[in-house]
Amino acid sequence: MTDLPLPERIHRADREIVVTWAADHVSKYPARSLRLACQCATCKDEFTGRELLDPGAVPEDIRAEVVSLVGNYAIKIRWSDGHDTGIYTYEYLLTLCPCERCQGQKRP
């Protein structure tokens, strides 16, 4: 089992969620991209993995209204469109990390 890093800080900005994993690793997740990546049963079929969320239904200017910790492994976000059932594990957030370092590791 690999130990995943725990965030040092998580905060909301205007249209992004910023996760500081370490001094040299800061992830800035655009709010809309993170909302579209929700994996709750309302947004993604839990048996087939088929996307249920219509991207056109998510406003371009969506914001995170509240970000809450879930145990020591995830965050829960209440979005400005009223959605609040998704849980974003730290492991999942790392797979979505848009920073240059993480994106470079994903290249073949």
pLDDT computed for residue 108 by the predictor:
62
Q: Is the pLDDT of residue 11 over 70?
A: yes
Tokens of 84: 């609040």
Examine residue 86 and state whether it is found in any structural domain, yes or no: yes
Ordered DSSP codes for 1-26: -PPPPPPSEEEE-SSEEEEEEETTEE
Global pTM value: 0.90
Examine residue 3 and state whether it is found in any structural domain, yes or no: no
- Per-residue pLDDT of 30-71, as tens digits, reads 999 999 999 999 999 999 999 999 999 999 999 999 999 999
- CATH assignment at residue 39: 3.30.2020.30
Provide φ and ψ at 3, rounded to 5°.
Answer: -80, 120
Give the C-alpha separation, 63 to 47, whole Å. 29
Examine residue 42 and state whether it is found in any structural domain, yes or no: yes
Range of the domain at 65: 9-103
pLDDT computed for residue 103 by the predictor:
86
Q: How far is CA 46 from the centre of its chain?
A: 18
Examine residue 65 and state whether it is found in any structural domain, yes or no: yes
Total domain count, the chain? 1
